[in-house]
Amino acid sequence: MKTQNAIVEIAIFTVKSESINEVDEIRKKVKVSLKSFKGFISIKTLLPVNSSRIFADVALWETLKDAHAAAKAFEEGDERFLPYMHCIEDIKFMGHFIENTNEGNL
C-alpha cells in the first residue's frame, strides 16, 4: 500500500438536519464500500466541533485516476453510496491534492 505522494481527497458537506442521527452509521458503511475500490488507502471522517451540520471526509488514494473512479461512482448513484447521498444536503467543497514535497518539514 503506497502512501508517499498519495492523492488526498477532501470533501466538505452539509448533512440534512433529519439525517444527523444516522450519518455516523452511514459513514461506517461507506468506509467498508470504499475498501473495494482500486487504489483506496484510507479515510478519516471529521465531525463538527459545534452544533454545525458541516462535516468533512479526508481520503487517501494511490492515484488521481483511482480517486476519480470512486467519485464518478458516487456521482452516478452507485447503490453503495445512496444512503450517504440521501443524507447530504449539499457539497461545499470537493477537491484533490498532493503533498508539497518542496516545502520541507516544519
Reported as a single tens digit per residue, the pLDDT across 62-82 is: 999 999 999 999 999 999 999
Q: What is the mean pLDDT of residues 5-29?
A: 96
> How does pLDDT run across 89-99, given as a tens digit for each residue?
999 999 999 98
More confident residue, 103 or 19: 19
Q: What is the mean pLDDT of residues 24-53?
A: 95
Domains of the chain: 7-98 (3.30.70.100)
Residue 38 has pLDDT above 80, yes or no: yes
SS (H, E, C) the chain: CCCCCCEEEEEEEEECHHHCCCHHHHHHHHHHHHCCCCCEEEEEEECCCCCCCEEEEEEEECCHHHHHHHHHHHHCCCHHHHHHHHHEEEEEEEEEEECCCCCCCC
Residue 3 has pLDDT above 90, yes or no: no
Enter the pTM of the model.
0.88
